[in-house]
């Protein structure tokens, strides 16, 4: 008995496959036959769950995906995937293309798949060019590009402690600084140690021991203190 095998993928763990899974399940795929890759780039030729989906395919089965780019980003990768399906005697169903089966075993189906793969790669390249163009424009305009978190100065930590002493919650103050409570406490403790060390060095007496002879003829040391000013 032939069956439907579903596959969903997102490139980062912050993204969700919920929409893909809903559409695939609505197409008739059983949840037990649905394979999902989280945080796996489409540029990778090997992905754990898509490999499992392929292993589950038998002659006459159909792989169901929402969009063609779930299989990969490059035309070369997608054509290799089509060859894998042909070798297993399996079909392909792409839901955003109307849900019709693409029979990669026939010349017409193979040609259609090749065209779709090329269009998918072209669309990806266009998106990439737009992102790069947007980054360059923001950089030229001197705008923030995100990336590494901003440096928090010791002065900002001192001000944050004043807010906390005034009754502000530590969690709120730390979040406003863009750091966790643990990081804030660590920075505050390091600042306390640095300030205590600085104060201790200031309080140390400025004296040098010097050998000398006291009035009774005994030997000892004379402390040469820093000048205290004249009276």
Residues serving a catalytic function are 11
The contacts of residue 222 (CB under 8 Å, 6+ apart) are 209, 210, 211, 212
Q: How far is CA 105 from the centre of its chain?
A: 39
> For 149, which DSSP code?
P
Distance CA 67, CA 135 (A): 27
Strands 91-94 and 101-102: what pairing?
Answer: antiparallel
Distance CA 117, CA 148 (A): 36
**Distance, CA of 15 to CA of 194 (rounded, Å):** 42
């Amino acid at each position: 008995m032939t069956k439907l095998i579903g596959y969903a993928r997102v490139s980062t763990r912050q993204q969700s496959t919920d929409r893909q899974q809903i559409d695939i399940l609505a197409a008739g795929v059983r949840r037990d036959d649905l394979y999902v890759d989280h945080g796996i780039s489409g540029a990778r030729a090997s992905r754990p769950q898509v490999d499992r989906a392929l292993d589950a395919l038998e002659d006459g089965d159909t792989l169901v995906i929402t969009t063609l780019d779930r299989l990969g980003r490059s035309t070369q990768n997608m054509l290799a995937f089509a060859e894998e399906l042909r070798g297993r005697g399996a079909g392909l169903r792409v839901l955003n293309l109307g849900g019709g089966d693409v029979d990669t075993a026939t010349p017409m189906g193979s040609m259609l798949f090749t065209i779709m793969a090329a269009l998918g790669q072209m669309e990806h390249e266009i998106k990439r060019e737009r992102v790069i163009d947007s980054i360059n424009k923001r950089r030229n305009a001197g705008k923030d590009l995100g990336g590494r978190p901003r440096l928090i100065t010791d002065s900002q930590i001192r001000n944050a402690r004043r807010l906390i002493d005034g009754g502000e919650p530590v969690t709120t103050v730390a979040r406003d600084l863009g750091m966790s409570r643990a990081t804030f406490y660590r920075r505050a403790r390091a600042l306390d140690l640095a300030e205590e060390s600085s104060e201790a060095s200031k309080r140390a007496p400025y004296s040098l021991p010097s050998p000398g002879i006291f009035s009774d003829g005994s030997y000892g040391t004379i402390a040469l203190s820093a000048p205290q000013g004249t009276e």
